[in-house]
A and B are shown apart, each in its own frame.
Chain A
């Protein structure tokens, strides 16, 4: 029985290799092994969306992915959304829209929103709410989050 597996990935555009046990989720690997703690744990069973990351162009809850499954994958986390010190329009929209209170769900929402707007640049309110239904927020009542997503969509289309 090997104890640890060598996993080669690309994270936020940079090659990252790590060692992990098969029982460690990608979420545990990101947080405890690699030190990217921006991806949060709220439930560990795929129902809160705080651990949402993008793997090979599609969003997943990283608590329901084994670290070893990430071999060869390209992963985007909240730490990779901004371009250096230039915030992404979605991040700006969340800031200017006061779309966060405690902020623990924010990384998951931003990663999920980015995937939405890449697929659907001009979503309706219903499409936004549907796409984000797997991301729970307990502070905001979603109002300002939905508006921030609408604002970001507008800004990104104008750009």
Chain B
């Protein structure tokens, strides 16, 4: 059984000499997921399970004067109440969260506020009770006295002179230098290449504009959840939906001041993440409650809590200036970007800075980035974090430039495109990348070649995101029938266990179905970093490749000892070990498997990797849309996503990533936003009013997978999870301009915003 290969999903393959890689097997976990058998975090049950609920701040910024939990504790059915005071006191330190880093003190403060609340929805206390209704009732009995403080909700407000300060001890950091200035600006950095002033002097055409985006949420369908059981032997067991079980484990060890080995995190199936399930929220509270009660405690956030108490992606202000000569050569570009970190430092502005000009070979470039704290939830990663905000600015400015120059927008991009050897504005030099190939595929696509429908507008844009490497581990055990079991630690959000298994299958010369992959707990496999940064199929796939090579080597050695020949004379292909010189000597993996126990014992391959050679991925969009001029409503009529996958291990799931990222980008472009009222409260914290696209809001999303092999990966893989969310917002804005002649510089492009823009 394989998955469908649809006509409107094209793979431009460069390498086809694989047997498993590039095919479309049905995913290993599929049947469990279409029959309702798969266990997600909220489905977890345990004997004596208690239910936890979390009390949250109604104020955007306030001092906590007192907390009285006595009435809640007295309520029938309540087993325990915890507050920040229940955390052990530990020295502050900086914690690596896979690809994010944060201060332990900030992490602890975000999980349960101690002296101050910094946003509406900030967690303050946890209650465990015999059922969730009682736990929720108990929350209303906790009495808290606040001194309400003025709040700041945007980078403008936070950076203004005399702005209310969130953290009195926070000073602006400037690349390792502490400015000593107390400020809501946690960080300012700058990248310079060449001479920007000189570059603008050479420019014959200059475009300069400011763009604004607002807070949006990842919108995963399963709210955050976690179950903790702190056993009498001191061991802490956690079951939760996370993008990084090892991050949960290591963070808990630091927060709770217990040895890492005393914590076991079992990742359940995960109902979406998109970056938002990298940080931890409820797990430590459940752990503290379990410690007090001696029983397992489960906490599941409500949808409202998920909006208000997890980590959305920031609103931002982006100023772009770009100049070119009349033949379309960009002479200089400047990006000034300020991003909301939320209540604690750590916005994705650094990543945005490394993405904003990534597709282009610029002689002169300047990037300023500001990481700014505001009274909103601490932001978390969201699919290519920072890059869509930046692209909404720069990719629009480029189309404006193209129009002034009288050039086709794709031709302008191709004229300036970054290739292997291009030095980025932030310094490093690109290895082999596929920006040019993506742009060429866009230009040649039937969608771009087609006539627009009358009244429609067409827009294009491209976007970039890195792959990161980081740690991954994998074990493969050979079974007596020649099948293998593969264990790995990358939690699987979108079918990655199959794309990882396929890479092992390719090495072993067996079918994907003969590899049975499992995502296992933190006791069972070596350290594996988060499912994020477009790294899972790339890095954990690499670990699987290495572990399979280890199995292969051992199989050959075992066959050599069985046949009493030199291992160097043997080879293994298509699951058969054979002699290079003696055609009589042949053994299938199945035959070898059956003899393992009698010939020295089992064969287990293992690998722990931290790969380099990470490539980046570029994605381009072509979008056609129409606008109801009377209501301002946009209808997306046709949408094409074109992305460099390096090598698509499982094309169906690469297409799925591209289509999903496109849909999220379309939602971001059209209607998604946090509406904040004067008190700093989100007024649309439901899936009714936070308007993510429904099936009726989208067309089919056509895809082209471009394959420009990543020379740093055994199969040429580039991570594809993220770059696809980058181009939709500018592509749609460019199409709105094409359709109406109006430049939209603020997201979302909701109907009311479109009509307002048309009027002004």
Q: How many A-B residue pairs have CB under 8 A?
A: 190
Complex interface: chain B residues within 8 A of A35 (CB): 45
Question: Which residue, A43, A82, A134, has most C-beta atoms of chain B within 10 A?
Answer: A43
Q: Is B2 an interface residue (CB 8 A)?
A: yes
Contact with A along B39-61 (1 / 0, CB 8 A): 11011010000000000000000
- On whether the beta carbons of A97 and B3 are closer than 8 Å, the reply is yes
The answer on a CB contact under 8 Å between A141 and B33 is no
B-side contacts of A10, CB under 8 Å: none
Q: Is the CB of B660 within 8 A of A141?
A: yes
B662 an interface residue at 8 Å Cβ cutoff? yes
Find chain B residues with CB under 8 A from A40 CB: 40, 42, 221-222, 271
Q: A106 to chain B: which residues have CB within 8 Å?
A: 33-34
Q: What A residues does B693 contact at CB under 8 A?
A: 141-142
Residue A120 CB within 8 A of the other chain:
no
If A129-B696, A135-B695, A144-B656 touch, does A110 touch B34 (CB 8 Å cutoff)? yes
Q: Are B3 and A96 in contact (CB under 8 A)?
A: yes
A138 and B219 within 8 A (CB):
yes
Is B72 positioned at the interface, with any CB of A under 8 Å from its CB? no
Query: Which among B24-32, B362-370, B747-755 touches the partner chain?
Result: B24-32
Q: Which secondary structure dominates chain B's binding surface? A: loop
B221 & A146 in contact (Cβ 8 Å cutoff): no
Pair A42/B687 contact, Cβ less than 8 Å: yes
Which one, A100, A104, A139, A143, contacts B34 given CB within 8 A?
A100
Residues of chain A within 8 A of B700, CB atoms compared: 125, 143, 146-147
Residues from chain A with a CB closer than 8 A to the CB of B696 are 126, 129-130, 133
| B contact residues around A23 at 8 Å (CB) | 133
The reply to whether B34 and A101 form a contact with Cβ atoms under 8 Å apart is no
Number of residues in A with C-beta < 8 Å to the partner?
61
A141 in contact with B662 (CB, 8 Å): yes
Question: Within 8 Å of chain B (Cβ to Cβ): is A64?
Answer: no
Give bound CA distance, A107 to B663, whole Å: 21
Q: How far is the CA of A64 from the CA of B47 in the complex (A)?
A: 28
**Within 8 Å of chain B (Cβ to Cβ): is A87?**
yes
Q: Which residue of A lies closest to B724 (CB)?
A: A141
Which residue of B has the minimal Cβ distance to A78?
Answer: B36
Contact of A147 among B4, B220, B223 (CB under 8 A): B4
- Bound state CA distance, A151 and B6, in angstroms? 11
Inter-chain contacts of B37 with A (CB < 8 A): 38, 79
Contact B221 A47 (CB under 8 A): no
List which A122-159 residues lie within 8 A (CB) of chain B.
125-126, 128-130, 132-147, 151
Known contacts A38-B37, A40-B40, A98-B652; decide if A45 and B686 are in contact (CB<8 Å).
Answer: yes
Is A75's beta carbon under 8 Å from chain B? no
- A54 sits at the interface (CB 8 A): no
Verify B35–A147 contact, CB threshold 8 A: no
Is B97 an interface residue when CB atoms closer than 8 A count as contact?
no
Contact A87 B31 (CB under 8 A): yes
Return the contact of A42 from the options B31, B36, B43, B303 (Cβ within 8 A): B303
Is B36 within 8 A of A36, CB to CB? yes
The answer to whether A102 touches B35 (Cβ under 8 A) is no
Given contacts A106-B33, A129-B695, A139-B660, are A96 and B1 in contact (CB under 8 A)?
yes
A142 CA to B655 CA, complexed, in Å: 12
C-alpha gap A9/B661 in the complex (Å):
42
Q: In the complex, which residues of chain A have a beta carbon less than 8 angstroms from the beta carbon of B660?
A: 101, 138-141
Q: How far is the CA of A40 from the CA of B493 in the complex (A)?
A: 16
B83 interfacial contact with A, CB 8 Å? no
B303 close to A43 (CB less than 8 A):
yes
Shortest beta-carbon contacts, A-B, top 3? A38-B36, A104-B271, A141-B663
A–B Cβ pairs within 8 angstroms, 19 of them: A35-B45, A40-B221, A41-B300, A82-B35, A87-B31, A95-B27, A102-B272, A103-B271, A129-B695, A133-B695, A134-B694, A139-B272, A141-B660, A141-B663, A141-B701, A144-B652, A144-B659, A145-B695, A151-B4
* B interface list, Cβ under 8 A from A: 1-4, 6, 24, 26-27, 29-31, 33-40, 42-43, 45, 133, 218-223, 269-274, 300, 302-303, 493-495, 652-653, 655-656, 659-664, 686-688, 692-696, 698, 700-701
